C-alpha cells in the first residue's frame, strides 16, 4: 500500500526515535531526514511536549510546522507516531489558569511552578477542557493522514513520587471516590479497622490525603494510590476517546514506565496498543524481559517499545555507557518477545534544557554518534526478518507467573519484613531463575484468565482477591491445575489489612495446613531441610506449618520453627496446591519447580545457556526461534533440528555458539 507520495507505507517491525522538529531550524530538516533514511529508520515519534508550538496563544493554532515534518518524513518513506502534548502546558495556560497547577508535598497549599512537565493537575476540570481542545484540533489535523500510524497520549503519566496532586479538586474527588466504593463511612471504618488509635471518621470529607510528614494508616495510603491510578486512567481515556473517534486505523496508546503507581492493566484496558518506556543498562538488561512478558499478556495486539536509550542515560550529566553490541540486543529483545516497534530516546541530543546530556543517535551538532552503524545493522536485520516476524507470534506457554502492581504498592507501604521490596524479590528469587532455566513463564495479572495454563506460580501475592482471582483459582485447581503459592501469599485483604480468622484467607483450607508461627527474615535467615538431607537458608519470610492432610516436602532445620513444615503439597480436586512457607534459594526452587513442570509436561523452551533469551515463534510464516544474548558474554544453544538464520542466511544444526550481544533469527 502507498499514499500519494508513491512511497510504500512502512510495515513492522518499526525502528525509530523521538524527534523534536520544534527544537531545530526548519532548514535543517532535510539533512536530518536524510540521516534517518541512512540509519534505516521507518518511524519517528513527535510532538509530545510541543503544546506551545501548536497553540502559541489560547485559541490560536499553528500546525504548519508539524504538517511539514509529517509530510517530509512521509516523502522519505518514514511514518509518524504523534503524541498529545498535555504533559507540558504552555506558559500562557499556567499564567491565565494557575488553578490547574498541582499541589504537592513541597508545602501545604503551595502549587508547583511552570517549567517542568506533569505539573498540571489531571483532575482539574479547566485543564481537562483545555486538553480536550488541543487533542481535538490535533486529531482533526492528522487523524486521516496515511503516514500517521499511531498516537501516544501524554507522556509517562504517573503521580509524583506515588503521592500525586493534593489540590482541593483532587481531595474532593478522593472523598467522592471513597463514598462510591464504601457507600457509608461506617463501612470504611470497619474495612480499615479504624477503632485503633481513635482514627474512625464521621464523614468522608474528614478523610485526609496522606502527607509525607505523617505516619498514615496503610489502608489510607493504599486507597490514595488506587484513587490516583483510577483518575490518571480516566485522564488518559478522555484524550484517547477523542483520538479514537476522529482518527482512522491509527492505534492509540500511552507510554508507561515501570513504576507501579498507575495500573498498567487498567490503563490499557480501553487503549489499542500497549506502549512502554524502559532504560535498562548492561547490568540489568535481563529485567526488561520480565516487563515484556508482562506487557504481552495485557493485550492481544503487539506492544510498542516507545523509548529506550541507544547508548547512555542522562539529565544534565551523562551516565550508564553501554558497550558496543548492547544496542543490538536491547533493540531486538522487545521484537523477539512480541513487540512490533523499538524506538530510541532520542534521535538528536538536545542542545538545551533538563536532559541535554542524554544519549541519542545523533549528537546535538547533528553528527552520527558511535552507535549509528549499529543502528544501521539493526535496521538491516529487521528488514531481513520482517516477513517472518510479521507472520508469527510468540508461542504461548502453559506456565504462568503472577505479577501484581497492586501488591507492589502494598509492599511499598508495608514491607512486612525490614528491607523487603516486592519487585526486587519477585525478579531475583523467582523470575530470573525461571528465565535462566529456559522455562520462560507467561507473566500475568491476577485478573487474567487461567485456562491456558497447567502450572501457575504466585509468589508474594498478598491480596488473593484482586481481579476476583480467589474463586477463579479455586475452580482452576479443582479442574486439574497446579498452584505454587507463597511465601507471603493470601495474607492481606484488598484494604491491606490482615485476616483475623487465620494467617491466610483460604490458603490453609486449600493446602491442608495449620499455620503455627511466622518469623520475619530479619535479622537472620533460617534453614530448610530437604528430603535428601541437604539444608539451605530460606528468604523473604518464614511461615511454619503443621500438616492437616498435606504432604511435607521440606521442614525447618533450626530456630523456633524447627520441625515444622516449610513446603507442603496437597491434592485439591483434580489439581494440587504447593505452598512455600519461605522462598528457597534459586537452585532448590528450580529443583522443586522442575519436578512440577516435568509432571505437567512443560519442558524448557530450549537447551541453552542462562544468558540467552530463546523466544519460540509460530504462525502463518512458519515456526522458529529468536535468540538474543543479553549479558555481553558468549552463550550456547543446542538445536533440536536444522535451522537457517534469516539475518545471515547461514544454516545451523546441533550446538550453536552465540557471541556477546549476538542475535539469531532461526527458522
CB count within 10 Å of CB 284 equals 12
Distance CA 579, CA 242 (A): 48
> What 3-state class would DSSP assign to 274?
coil
Pick the catalytic residue: 287, 307, 466, 588?
A: 307
Radius of gyration of the chain (CA): 26
- Containing 393, the helix (H) or strand (E) segment is strand 393-394
Please state the length of the chain. Answer: 667
Q: Say if strands 663-666 and 622-629 run parallel, antiparallel, or are unpaired.
A: antiparallel
CB count within 10 Å of CB 107 equals 8
Distance CA 419, CA 520 (A): 11
Q: Kindly list the distances between the CA atom of residue 281 and the CA atoms of 127, 156, 312, 458, in Å, as whole numbers in the listed order.
A: 37, 19, 8, 28
Q: Which residue has the cell 491509527?
A: 250
Q: How far apart are the first and last CA of the chain?
A: 27
Strands (DSSP E) found in 403-540: 442-444, 455-458, 482-485, 513-520, 527-529, 535-537
- Please list, residue by residue across 87-100, b when 16 or more beta carbons sit within 10 angstroms of its beta carbon and e when fewer do: bbbbeebbeebeeb
Distance CA 555, CA 544 (A): 8
Per the annotation, the verdict on 374 as an active-site residue is no
Per the annotation, the verdict on 156 as an active-site residue is yes
Distance CA 42, CA 8 (A): 11
Distance CA 221, CA 402 (A): 23
Distance CA 289, CA 626 (A): 13
- Residue 446: closest CA among 489, 416, 382: 489
Distance CA 532, CA 102 (A): 60
Contacts of 350 (CB under 8 A, 6+ apart): 20, 23, 356, 358, 364
Pick the catalytic residue: 156, 287, 466, 588?
A: 156
The answer to whether 18 and 347 have CB atoms below 8 angstroms apart is: yes
- Residue 437: closest CA among 481, 488, 399, 480: 399
Distance CA 289, CA 356 (A): 29
Q: Say if strands 575-580 and 607-608 run parallel, antiparallel, or are unpaired.
A: unpaired
Q: What angle do CA 23, 26, 28 make, to 5 degrees?
A: 95
Torsional sign, CA 157, 162, 168, 170:
positive
To the nearest 10 degrees (0 to 180), the angle between helices 185-192 and 168-182 is 80
Looking at the annotation, which residues are catalytic? 156, 307
Amino acid at each position: 500500500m502507498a499514499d500519494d507520495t508513491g512511497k510504500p507505507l512502512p510495515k513492522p517491525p518499526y525502528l525509530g526515535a523521538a524527534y523534536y522538529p520544534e527544537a531545530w531550524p526548519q532548514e535543517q530538516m532535510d539533512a536530518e531526514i536524510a540521516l534517518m533514511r541512512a540509519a534505516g529508520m521507518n518511524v519517528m515519534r513527535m510532538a509530545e511536549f510541543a503544546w506551545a508550538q501548536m497553540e502559541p496563544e489560547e485559541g490560536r493554532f499553528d500546525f504548519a510546522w508539524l504538517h511539514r515534518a509529517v509530510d517530509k518524513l512521509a516523502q522519505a518513506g518514514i511514518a509518524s507516531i504523534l503524541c498529545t502534548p498535555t504533559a507540558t502546558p504552555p506558559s500562557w495556560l499556567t499564567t491565565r489558569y494557575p488553578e490547574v497547577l498541582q499541589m504537592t508535598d513541597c508545602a501545604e497549599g503551595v502549587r508547583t511552578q511552570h517549567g517542568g512537565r506533569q505539573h498540571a493537575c489531571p483532575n482539574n476540570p479547566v485543564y481537562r477542557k483545555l486538553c480536550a481542545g488541543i487533542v481535538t484540533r490535533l486529531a482533526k489535523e492528522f487523524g486521516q493522514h496515511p503516514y500517521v500510524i499511531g498516537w501516544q497520549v501524554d507522556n509517562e503519566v504517573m503521580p509524583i513520587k506515588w503521592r500525586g496532586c493534593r489540590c482541593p479538586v483532587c481531595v474532593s474527588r478522593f472523598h467522592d471516590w471513597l463514598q462510591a466504593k464504601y457507600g457509608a463511612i461506617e463501612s470504611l471504618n470497619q474495612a480499615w479497622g479504624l477503632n485503633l488509635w481513635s482514627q474512625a471518621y464521621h464523614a468522608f470529607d474528614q478523610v485526609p490525603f496522606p502527607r509525607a510528614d505523617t505516619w498514615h494508616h496503610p489502608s489510607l495510603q493504599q486507597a490514595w494510590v488506587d484513587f490516583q491510578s483510577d483518575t490518571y486512567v480516566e485522564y488518559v481515556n478522555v484524550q484517547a476517546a477523542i483520538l479514537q473517534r476522529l482518527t482512522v486505523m491509527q492505534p492509540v496508546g500511552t507510554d508507561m514506565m515501570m513504576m507501579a503507581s498507575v495500573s498498567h492493566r487498567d490503563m490499557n484496558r480501553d487503549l489499542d496498543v500497549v506502549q512502554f518506556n524502559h532504560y535498562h543498562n548492561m547490568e540489568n538488561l535481563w529485567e526488561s524481559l520480565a516487563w515484556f512478558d508482562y506487557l504481552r499478556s495485557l493485550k492481544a495486539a503487539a506492544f510498542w517499545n516507545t523509548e529506550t536509550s541507544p547508548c547512555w542515560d542522562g539529565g544534565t550529566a551523562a551516565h550508564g555507557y553501554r558497550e558496543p553490541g548492547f544496542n543490538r540486543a536491547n533493540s531486538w529483545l522487545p521484537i523477539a518477545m512480541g513487540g512490533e516497534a523499538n524506538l530510541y530516546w532520542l534521535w538528536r541530543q538536545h542542545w538545551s534544557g533538563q536532559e541535554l546530556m542524554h544519549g541519542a543517535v545523533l549528537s546535538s551538532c547533528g553528527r552520527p554518534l558511535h552507535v549509528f552503524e549499529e543502528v544501521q545493522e539493526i535496521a538491516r536485520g529487521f528488514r531481513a526478518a520482517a516477513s517472518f516476524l510479521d507472520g508469527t507470534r510468540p508461542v504461548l506457554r502453559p506456565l504462568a507467573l503472577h505479577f501484581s502492581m497492586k501488591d507492589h504498592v502494598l509492599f511499598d507501604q508495608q514491607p512486612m519484613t525490614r528491607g523487603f521490596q516486592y519487585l526486587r524479590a519477585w525478579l531475583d528469587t523467582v523470575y530470573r531463575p525461571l528465565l535462566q532455566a529456559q522455562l520462560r513463564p507467561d507473566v500475568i495479572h491476577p485478573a487474567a484468565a487461567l485456562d491456558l495454563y497447567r502450572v501457575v506460580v504466585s509468589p508474594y501475592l498478598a491480596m488473593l482477591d484482586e481481579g476476583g482471582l480467589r474463586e477463579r483459582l479455586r475452580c482452576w485447581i479443582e479442574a486439574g491445575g497446579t498452584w505454587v503459592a507463597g511465601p507471603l501469599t493470601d495474607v492481606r485483604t484488598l484494604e491491606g489489612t490482615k485476616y483475623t480468622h487465620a494467617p491466610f484467607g483460604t490458603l490453609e483450607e486449600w493446602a491442608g495446613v495449620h499455620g503455627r508461627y511466622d518469623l520475619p527474615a530479619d535479622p537472620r535467615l533460617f534453614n530448610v531441610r530437604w528430603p535428601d538431607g541437604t539444608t539451605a537458608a530460606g528468604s523473604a519470610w518464614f511461615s511454619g506449618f503443621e500438616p492437616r492432610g498435606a504432604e511435607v516436602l521440606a521442614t525447618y532445620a533450626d530456630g523456633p520453627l524447627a520441625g515444622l513444615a516449610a513446603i507442603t503439597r496437597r491434592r485439591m480436586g483434580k489439581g494440587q496446591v504447593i505452598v512455600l512457607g519461605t522462598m528457597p534459594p534459586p537452585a532448590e526452587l528450580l529443583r522443586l519447580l522442575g519436578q512440577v513442570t516435568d509432571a505437567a509436561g512443560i519442558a524448557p523452551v530450549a537447551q541453552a545457556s542462562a544468558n540467552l533469551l530463546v523466544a519460540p515463534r509460530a504462525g502463518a510464516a512458519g515456526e522458529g526461534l529468536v535468540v538474543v544474548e543479553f549479558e555481553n558474554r558468549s552463550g550456547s544453544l543446542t538445536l533440536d533440528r536444522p535451522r537457517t538464520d534469516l539475518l545471515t542466511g547461514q544454516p545451523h544444526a546441533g550446538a550453536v555458539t552465540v557471541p556477546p550481544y549476538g542475535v539469531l533469527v532461526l527458522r
